[in-house]
Chain A
Amino acid sequence: MAVLLENPLYALVRLENAGDWLHLSALCGEYLTGRDFSKLQSYLKDDTKTVVVEKSYIDKDYRDTFYNFYSKKFVSYPSTTYRLHFFRSVVVVEDLFGLEAHADNYIGYCVIRPTQVNSLGRTIFDPSKLSRLHGLICRTVYKIHLFGAELKINGFPYISQDTDVTICAHAATWMTFRYFSERYTAYREIFPFEISQLCGDVSHGRLIPSKGLTAFQITEIFSKYGFYPEVYLRRDYSDKFYRLLYYYIESGIPVVACLHGKEHAVTVIGHISDYARPATNNSEEFLTGYVVNDDNHLPYQLLMRNEKPKTGYCSEHVVEDVDGFIVPLYEKMYLSAEHIEGLADAILQHPPFGVNAQSRLVTHDRLIKRIYLTSSKSYKAFRRENRLPFDLHKNYVELSMPKFIWVCELSVSGHYPQKQIIGEIIFDATANHWDRLSFLAIHYPDFILFNDRNKLGDRPNRFTTYRLPAKQILPYAMYENNLKEI
């Protein structure tokens, strides 16, 4: 008996075989389209044992589009949705009043909208609880309440386009917004219809039903929301383009990627790398693919590099299909990734304070660089726990830093696969890119330089330089707070 409970408000279904999944489909009636049902079944069938169905769920995102659009149609659309909660454990009727006992087995939920064309609404799954998923991603904790129990999902939000108010680019921006608003109090929650109206000043006619967006309109949506976005197109950045994309993803900033050749947009939320691969000088060479939320599929797909085998939950697209991306930057992130790459290279090869000039233990040609942006708060917290040789972490913790810093970590081939580094250059992310003395510290295994950013001009008292008494390279932990392992 697959359906353990069914009443006007709830249903509890045991999912053991394909027949049980058909019972679930029947319970959702005309809300769940056949195509979306097949996607859910294929995605979840290996990991799900039970589903709890809320039959009259008021979903804030669907209500937003319902009031502003669907309620104005001739056809009567329901104002409520179905919400499906998936568990890896067997939940029986008696357990419904003590769901905390199943908290560790709670995979997450999926809202089913009565929008007919695409029915998958707000969805949050914990990727660690799904066996086919891999990679390092941006993730945060979402709390939900079911039968009075508070359950938590550590994941990244997903929604499909409804093809009326929202198309793929709106869905991609919604996913980004909902991640930031859940994770950081500085960002407010925003809903699909509201997002669709944010590019009103740069529209080409009516905004709904939506016909699509240009990359420029996506930047406008980000700007109107309160971000300070940057747009990068492959045609303009040539060989730097994919490295720049990687630096932002390594920074834990989800970006909207344009697959212009496919007229499609996805949200890039993480990456997958193979550290056994040989790398010559940049950690991007380890990359095998990205983790993306593509609204045409379910979340956490792998977008692999062209030459890589597609194993796991993979996109039909490849990394090389990405020909543009838009990064939603915070106000005080004035320096962009491309300037850090150029400046870090110039510093490392600088005659007086480059690595060949100041280190007896490592040479420039051996270095593997890893560039990312992070908050100084997070960086200092990590360094307190993961110490540097000669107690230099104490100086980093004490060092006056802006809210955000760029870091170019330095490693060598023997240590990188063990996630160990041997030095770093720290930059003030609020600096002007024409200010070449924007670094706060330069650290090699046997050398450290601090630059007092509050001292302007060329007076030498802004620099403090020391020779560190290292007889050999002393590796320490790579910074890992930006992305979390699935």
Chain B
Amino acid sequence: MEFISALNFEKVEGLLDTEEKVREARETLERNTEDTFKQLESAKMSSWEHAHRIFLD
């Protein structure tokens, strides 16, 4: 990524520098959020379903 305002800092060596490492990083994020996201999907569906029964006067 290029910036006009140059980043004159030391690059982090060995971090996400190959396609394999990026894929592993993404898959780790997927694994670590999978259960939570599934629960959220189920909560979303349930809220839509029950929103019909929440009566407000």
* A contacts, CB < 8 Å to B: 167-169, 211-216, 218-219, 231-233, 235-237, 258-260, 263-265, 323-324, 338-339, 342-343, 346-347, 349-353, 358, 390-391, 394-395, 398-399, 433-434, 436-437, 447-450, 452, 458-460, 462-469
With A169-B56, A394-B4, A460-B22 already in contact, 16 other A-B pairs whose C-beta atoms are closer than 8 Å: A168-B57, A214-B53, A231-B48, A233-B50, A236-B50, A260-B54, A342-B36, A342-B40, A343-B29, A346-B32, A349-B32, A358-B12, A433-B37, A436-B30, A437-B29, A458-B19
A342, B15: Cβ atoms closer than 8 Å: no
**A446 nearest CB across to chain B (Å):** 10
**B14 nearest CB across to chain A (Å):** 9
Which B residues touch A351, using CB under 8 A?
Answer: 28
Which A residues touch B37, using CB under 8 A?
Answer: 339, 342, 433-434
A212, A394, A463: the one contacting B22 at CB < 8 Å is A463
Which B residues touch A399, using CB under 8 A?
Answer: 3
B5, B19, B54: the one contacting A395 at CB < 8 Å is B5
**B15 nearest CB across to chain A (Å):** 5
Instruction: Report which residue of B32, B42, B52, B53 has the largest number of chain A beta carbons within 10 angstroms of its beta carbon.
Output: B32
**Interface size class of chain B, counting residues whose CB lies under 8 Å from the partner chain:** 35 or more
Which B residues touch A260, using CB under 8 A?
Answer: 54-56
| A258 CA / B55 CA spacing, docked (Å) | 9
A346, B29: Cβ atoms closer than 8 Å: yes
B57, A352: Cβ atoms closer than 8 Å: no
B1, B3, B33: the one contacting A436 at CB < 8 Å is B33
Chain B, residue nearest A462 (CB): B22
| A454 CA / B28 CA spacing, docked (Å) | 22
**B13 nearest CB across to chain A (Å):** 9
B54, A233: Cβ atoms closer than 8 Å: yes
Chain A, residue nearest B16 (CB): A463
A466, B25: Cβ atoms closer than 8 Å: no
| A274 CA / B16 CA spacing, docked (Å) | 40
| A391 CA / B5 CA spacing, docked (Å) | 9
| A452 CA / B19 CA spacing, docked (Å) | 15
B51, A350: Cβ atoms closer than 8 Å: no
B10, A467: Cβ atoms closer than 8 Å: yes
Q: List 27 A-B contacts (CB under 8 A).
A: A169-B56, A216-B51, A216-B52, A231-B48, A236-B42, A259-B56, A263-B55, A324-B51, A338-B40, A349-B32, A352-B15, A358-B12, A390-B9, A395-B7, A399-B3, A434-B37, A436-B33, A447-B12, A452-B1, A458-B19, A460-B16, A460-B18, A465-B12, A466-B12, A467-B9, A467-B10, A467-B12
